[in-house]
Chain A
Amino acid sequence: GAGVSQSPRYKVAKRGQDVALRCDPISGHVSLFWYQQALGQGPEFLTYFQNEAQLDKSGLPSDRFFAERPEGSVSTLKIQRTQQEDSAVYLCASSWDPLETLHFGNGTRLTVT
């Protein structure tokens, strides 16, 4: 079946631009997570949704980062006024419930120039 889908696959933004990254989780998956992975590092937790409720956003690095999942399925991670340090791969993952293993998408590689 279809896995977690993320778009765009690659995004280049000029410093100061706003970007929006989309995640389509596996159908029926209640839990959705966003991670940030810098080059050569492991993924780092950003935020977590259960259905449409954002239960944990403690990993968001600044108030320029905003995530939403208004209907409990598709999620968007928005980064305002991008900075060079925002350059990374942004991974989305979903699961049936918080205690189940995560299914990851292939990520969006963001490059801020």
Chain B
Amino acid sequence: LAKTTQPVSMDSYEGQEVNITCSHNNIATNDYITWYQQFPSQGPRFIIQGYKTKVTNEVASLFIPADRKSSTLSLPRVSLSDTAVYYCLVGDGPQGGKLIFGQGTELSVKP
């Protein structure tokens, strides 16, 4: 399973767009890229998943370059409620349950 590297923390202000980049140099051909969000005292929650190019849903966008060695989670117009830890995961789905979360990026949104 590929290891991921992402910033430990980020600060932003309400209304700004936030981009969190994750490096995964050893990503395998079958691997998908998945992002989870975790609020204090809650379990992680699935945000978005992609394989290549761009994926967008009602919450976020995921940009994946052609070499797939990195990915960027984009949160448009963040609000205070987006303050959370964001985890980038790489793998062929949760097969076997061995999702490797890493430490994640702690996003702090300020008013």
Contact = CB atoms under 8 A, between A and B. Distances in A.
Interface stretch (A12-20, A72-80, A94-102): A94-102
Contact residues on A (Cβ < 8 Å of other chain), bracket: 20 to 34
Chain B facing A: main interface SS? loop
Contact of B101 (A40, A43, A100): A43
A101 B43 contact: no
A10 B95 CA distance: 29
Contacts of B61: none
Given A93-B43, A105-B43, A107-B43, A98 B101 contact: no
A6 to B, nearest CB: 8
B101 A33 contact: no
A69 B7 CA distance: 37
**Residue of A4, A33, A102 ringed by the most chain B CB atoms within 10 A:** A102
Nearest to B92: A99
Interface of B: 34, 41-46, 49, 85, 87, 92-104
